[in-house]
Chain A
């Protein structure tokens, strides 16, 4: 049927447009190309099976895919069952990230904010985000109080937000 082949062409279009974002996130978390390819496959298949999970009113597809990918990659890294259903990933992003150029500029800005961040704060945020460590695991690893770790992670996220408000 024409419709069916049309759907597949749509999937190919979406893949060509967003696979770089998804693969980069998966590879950043997993550090292994084979495992990253598996997550890439899983994320796009989820989109194929449940396109309604993406709410276009909140952010762009690229952002949503990046978040879903990070979550799935962390689940894979930690060898745990998915913590968050993709339908529950509701997020609000203020900067315009619709185009490749905007996303590229935003990524550059984020990298700049991370470089400027105090090392202990950057480290706490990266352990939580890219390694999927809980705050108590981070506290144990760094020898810092739980409250300090919590506050560092939150203020790190807020620093990113502020960078896009100014």
Chain B
């Protein structure tokens, strides 16, 4: 049961003022910190409002109208002005008496429109920010992951180039980037397979790859379970479709640096 579900029934009662005692206080306190439940409360009040609108009955007697208008005429204007000081403009519209209801409806549409525009602007801004961040990441990573990037491995002079692999592994997300250089060509229908060697248990397949003409290859984010602690990474040669377990001797292996 999620945190919100546990409040679901009580929210409905709260919307009807039918919740009392500690339960009411508990919901009240929760609402102060939970936007999702505040939104649901508004909806439930809206649902209850439908019930209110379903009431039908006779029109009020004429004396009620006279009584109200008499009371309104006797209300001092100054008191009303003080009470509504922060939003006096409402009264300015109300002054246009003949179209009061129309104005209210138009105001409703205008405010809804403004709110939507703000939400949209915020979403566009957020999307632009994300796009900029993604572009920046692509720019930084381009020399590593782009196929046309020139890869140079420096080794001691007079040493023939050796196959070499680098694994970058983020255990918490199960995220892995593997880069290889100077890999030897493979026989037909064969591929290299990368293995995550966990602290305990069998090796976990971490991607199949074939080097390009320069002996370079990469594996980016193969499907891996999150949270597995890697003792080492290893490479074997397998059928190009990959194998669930190593079937040939380990060609390359490396533990954490």
How many Å lie between the Cα of A37 and that of B57 in the bound state?
13
Q: Does B229 contact A (CB under 8 A)?
A: no
Asked if B49 and A19 make an inter-chain contact with CB atoms under 8 angstroms apart, the answer reads: no
How many Å lie between the Cα of A128 and that of B72 in the bound state?
33
Which residues from 39 to 69 on chain A have a C-beta closer than 8 Å to any C-beta of chain B?
A: 40-41, 44-45, 48-52, 56-64, 66-67, 69
Picked from B55, B60, B97, B111, the residue with its CB within 8 Å of the CB of A28 is B55
Asked if B16 and A40 make an inter-chain contact with CB atoms under 8 angstroms apart, the answer reads: no
* Residues of the B chain whose Cβ atoms lie less than 8 Å from the Cβ of A97: 53
A25-B12 contact in complex given A11-B68, A17-B101, C-beta closer than 8 Å: no
Asked if A23 and B59 make an inter-chain contact with CB atoms under 8 angstroms apart, the answer reads: yes
Asked if B77 and A4 make an inter-chain contact with CB atoms under 8 angstroms apart, the answer reads: yes
* Residues of the A chain whose Cβ atoms lie less than 8 Å from the Cβ of B111: 56-57
Asked if A61 and B94 make an inter-chain contact with CB atoms under 8 angstroms apart, the answer reads: no
Which chain A residue shows the least CB distance to B99? A13
Q: Does A35 contact B (CB under 8 A)?
A: no
Q: How many A-B residue pairs have CB under 8 A?
A: 224
Interface string of B161-203 (1 = CB under 8 A from A): 0000000000000000000000000000000000000000000
Q: In the complex, which of the residues A17, A36, A51 has the most CB atoms of chain B within 10 Å of its own CB atom?
A: A51
How many Å lie between the Cα of A128 and that of B10 in the bound state?
13
Which chain A residue shows the least CB distance to B115? A57
* Residues of the B chain whose Cβ atoms lie less than 8 Å from the Cβ of A9: 97-98
One of B80-88, B137-145, B211-219, B243-251 contacting the partner: B80-88
Interface string of A109-135 (1 = CB under 8 A from B): 011001000000000010011001111
Asked if B104 and A40 make an inter-chain contact with CB atoms under 8 angstroms apart, the answer reads: no
Chain B residues within 8 Å of chain A by Cβ, number? 66
Would you give the shortest CB distance from A16 to chain B, in whole angstroms? 8
Picked from B8, B91, B104, the residue with its CB within 8 Å of the CB of A61 is B104
Q: Does B30 contact A (CB under 8 A)?
A: no
Q: Does A142 contact B (CB under 8 A)?
A: no
* Residues of the A chain whose Cβ atoms lie less than 8 Å from the Cβ of B90: 51-52
Residue pairs across A and B with Cβ atoms less than 8 A apart, 15 shown, are: A15-B65, A15-B69, A23-B59, A40-B68, A48-B80, A49-B84, A56-B107, A63-B52, A66-B55, A91-B42, A110-B54, A129-B52, A153-B16, A154-B13, A157-B48
Q: A8-B72, A93-B46 are in contact. List 11 more A-B contacts (CB 8 A).
A: A41-B64, A56-B105, A71-B17, A94-B46, A98-B105, A106-B54, A128-B18, A129-B51, A136-B20, A150-B12, A150-B13
